[in-house]
Amino acid sequence: MKKHLTLFAVVSLGIASLQSVEARTTPPVPGVNFFRVALLKARIKLPITFNDSATVDYTTIDFGGNQSEITSDPSNASNLVLKLIKTSAAETWAGTTLGTVSGFADPIPFSTGNTSLRARVFSPSSGMQIRMKVEDSNDPSKTVETIAMSTVSNGWQILTFNFANQAPGTAALNMSNSYNKLSMFFNFGIDGATAGPKTFYLDDVEIGEGPAPTKAKINLPITWNDTATVDYSTTDFAGNLSSLAADPVNPDNIVLKINRSEVSLEYAGTTLGTDFGLATAIPLTQTDHLMSARVYTPAAGTRVRLKVENISGGGVNVETDQYTTVANQWENLTFDFSQNATGTPPINYANVHNKVVIFFDFGSTGATIGPKTYFLDDVVFGTFTSVTDGIASSGLRLFPNPSHGTFMIPVSDALSGSTRVTVTDQLGRDIQTVLTVLNDQTLNLELPGAATGSYICKVQKGDKVLVSKLSVQ
């Protein structure tokens, strides 16, 4: 009898021990005296890959009309990802928490030099606001939210979420807090009734730079026409929302569209690229201190500020201003960094400047000026002198475009006769000039040895000038 009691005690202790562990169990079956303990899984933590779902608890918590599940990668069936559906009944703030209410196994290791998380996202269209939120699972008042914009339609891209640039109206990052819970909000700010049901995918969430980028790092000149090979991610702050879009004059040309909301702050801006900066430092010197850009603004007299800085921060930066002279037209602005903006530090040519930030209507709040839309293209070092404004509206057609270096130009009555054809690079340097008499149906334009990139073709007959961009692949 004593042996039976001892055995019963051991079994009882074992049951109690198992029941004290966080685990999923099946409900009891009436009339059947047994229990079953599910396989215990590790608590979720960074990096989040979803491929180890057999051993890691990838529970998600949906709210506001979201639905999520782990499923196969739409581009690679052997890879597991998180599928998130923002339903037609979803709220503007619909989202998904990665993990249980208990949060991650370990706090997110933010530091002064590393305030970002990176994630691979798959969005149905570009220009969608994707918000990431981190918080303390034990104190919901300790939160930070930040925003990134999708720039790829129906394809994977790596987005950087920099919590040092918190979303407007949300708390700033506090290094003394412990952030161990993460939520994602896709197409934030737009409800399901307006947008219709949308499906997104998420993978590879981790601290810092994360997975190696599949595209080249952004670099000058910035044209946005080579999105297939260059990572044109942008980082918005203080009420800006940017996305790649069609040129308002030439739908075949890709430009950067920047929206300032009615709640934007006076310093609302957009970093061209991620917080990891340009591939190559900007070669500013005492004799070469100019940059230029094509801008399209809704009003003449718009203040445009260009800032270059060091990716490590620390106050290494210089800012300068220019003002537009036309409304709803493209124009070239030249920014002279030897003429720093009032109240900002002068340039130190010994510093490394490898990050570019632009501010439209700098110094004015959204509440004052209302929501505004701007466009940006052709950000280059030096002066852009090769063409006049309105490149796209000039009527010149080339095909195929892009090509491997051979283009055909249809010869219209406007072009027949003695004609000059000039091709320049993004810095305005002549690549090729041809003087010819055009009488045939097409002109074959050959660019042997031209490097991959964007160029400008100008065809001139008398006082008539036609221009167009061309792309060499």
Per-residue pLDDT reduced to its tens digit, 365-409: 999 999 999 999 999 988 654 333 333 334 567 777 778 888 777
Sheet strands (E) in 37-128: 60-63, 66-72, 80-86, 95-98, 116-123
Contact present, 373 and 270 (Cβ < 8 Å): no
Residues 6+ apart with CB under 8 A from 175: 110, 111, 112
Contact present, 182 and 97 (Cβ < 8 Å): yes
Contact present, 281 and 349 (Cβ < 8 Å): no
DSSP reduced 3-state for 421: strand
- Distance between start and end Cα atoms, the chain: 87
Residues 6+ apart with CB under 8 A from 305: 269, 319, 320, 321, 341, 358, 359, 362
Structure confidence at residue 314 (pLDDT): 61
Contact present, 332 and 322 (Cβ < 8 Å): no
Structure confidence at residue 19 (pLDDT): 39
Q: What is the set of domains in the chain, with CATH numbers?
A: 1-40 (no CATH), 42-214 (2.60.120.260), 215-384 (2.60.120.260), 393-472 (2.60.40.3080)
What H or E segment, with its residue span, contains residue 12? helix 2-20
Cβ neighbours of 425 (radius 10 Å):
17
d(CA 43, CA 107): 12
Structure confidence at residue 27 (pLDDT): 43
Structure confidence at residue 21 (pLDDT): 38
Cβ neighbours of 349 (radius 10 Å):
15
Structure confidence at residue 439 (pLDDT): 60
For tokens 């004052």, what's the residue? 368
Contact present, 108 and 133 (Cβ < 8 Å): no
Tokens at 377, concatenated = 């293209």
Residues 6+ apart with CB under 8 A from 389: 294, 326, 329, 330, 331, 332
DSSP reduced 3-state for 308: strand
Spans of the chain below 50 pLDDT: 1-38, 210-213, 385-394
Q: How far is CA 376 from the centre of its chain?
A: 15
Cβ neighbours of 31 (radius 10 Å):
5
